[in-house]
Structure 1
Amino acid sequence: MDILTEALASMRTGSPASVRTDGRAPWGLRLPPVAGAGFHVVLHGGCWVLPLEDAVSHREPIRLEEGDVIFVRDGRGHILADHPSTPAQPEDTAEFCPGTPIGTVSVGGDGARTSLLCGNYHLDQGRPHPLVGRLPALIHLSTRDGRHPELSAAVRLLGAEVENPRPGSAGIVPSLIDSLLLYILRAWLAERPAGDGAGWAAALADPVVAPALAAIHEEPSAQWTVESLAGRSGLSRAAFARRFTALVGEPPVAYLTRWRMTTAARLLRESDAPLATVAARAGYGSEFAFAKAFKREYGQAPGGYRRTARMDRAAA
């Protein structure tokens, strides 16, 4: 079970989009918060990222050079500019190529040029998967000097499609943006310090916790207990529970419940499966027990959640 892919898919609420941003000094863009996550890739030139005061406290401006990638975990507002002192203007609506998720923005004067590839992912930040929720607010990666070649290749492919949309781009671009997100997170996981024994980077590689996570993701409907999950690792119940909680951030049963509800919410959003089927897939023997548990987690009944999700999709 690819837990990283599953965790991201469980949060997705819409299709991603990408914008080619061209700035000529002096230029500055104030980007408002978005419901999801975002990224910027410097294709040419360089710029600065300035977290807004009400978004990331006490965070210094970050210099981006050609080939750099920055990932904004929760879509918080920030500023892109040629220099930290340049006044920023609100971003105008991007001009999108008809029928595609590809847009363009031009800003600034007549000085040095910077070209960026910017994008966003519509993710449910109300109930983020802990793998995503515990990421740094900003992830800064470099693809210079041959670092992260797969990420660099994905950037080049996406940049080519955005620069020159052709037949098929409407289907290619969302897939490339999804792939880019996975490459960003894979690169970040690879850059974790050797011996870092905490967090999801360690959990996904841990010989005890990783198999338990995979079992929960593969069969959320199974009647897992702490004992049965611990039995897969060869540890005692107490030792397994301590190790799981330390790395994942919550106890095994709490994570199992979270993933069951996440699985159910995804089925309600993306399928027409009857509630009895959704309940069974989430490990509940009756619709009543499932509905009660779901309302406790999401604040509304399963049917209401499904209707709201459909209206949100229609309005998007």
Structure 2
Amino acid sequence: MRGANQSSVCEFLLLGLSQQPWQQQQLLFLLFLGMYLATVLGNLLILLAISLNARLHRPMYFFLSNLSFVDMCFSSTTVPKMLANHVLGRHTISFSGCLTQMYFLFTFVDMDTFLLAVMAYDRFVAVCRPLHYSAKMTHPLCVLLVTGSWVIANSNVLLHTLLMARLSFCGDNAIRHFFCDVSPLLKLSCSDTYLNEVMIQTEGALVTITPFVCILVSYILITRAVLSVSSARGRWKVFSTCGSHLAVVSLFCGTIIAVYFSPFSSHSAETDIAAAVMFTVVTPMLNPFIYSLRNQDIKGALRKVVAMTFSSPL
């Protein structure tokens, strides 16, 4: 057999919803469609509100707008393909399409993690070093942090995509998932996947876990600073906001760590799919609500966007 993967398997079957009874498929289709529309609408409103309001052209909202953009792209790499497969009754994806989907999906996963870490650092400086905030969080630094995140994310995912592209696939081509994920692809390969697994457990773990640790450290330092505040109302406001942020971060990073950094032999399709739904669909939908509904500036800007939309002449 030649070294090229395409010589044995030219396409994969994304079983996704097709494994469920027909009535459950219909319910899941409507559920995923509703969550996807909510994700796109929520994040699009955040982008519009920030771009149209000059008062929100500050570091915190610059990072939030980038997070909203990434979340829209994040969900769009998997959910529309799954919904289209269900409507058309086709479940195939080409080998190159599979690798492309995997590349963009995990680029946005890494970007989400990096942006959450950068936002946590921004809040740390704002709460713990308020007098130095303007001097530290300059516009060039903010651009550098986002640009550096894109460079690292793309470099990391390109490495794993190239390692996946060198594998051979023969025989079974059915992926028990709704997108091209690393774990089921490695199980289908008839090549030696040891290098892939080692790189995921080492380099991949370092890229994913490091931002999570930075987020935890930032919020621990924020908590210590807030405890010294004499105002009980001020403490409760910060704790409630930080608590909701940490809940989303823990949900997002926890499911990723559980799926991709545990032994691959211990994975079950059902568990992986449930965890994947949490970080590919649920978290991008929750982010605009968690990071915005407690923010008076964002709520005011959103009201203006909605008012402009309904007051504009047809």
Normalising by structure 1, what TM-score? 0.31
More strand by share: 1
More helix by share: 2
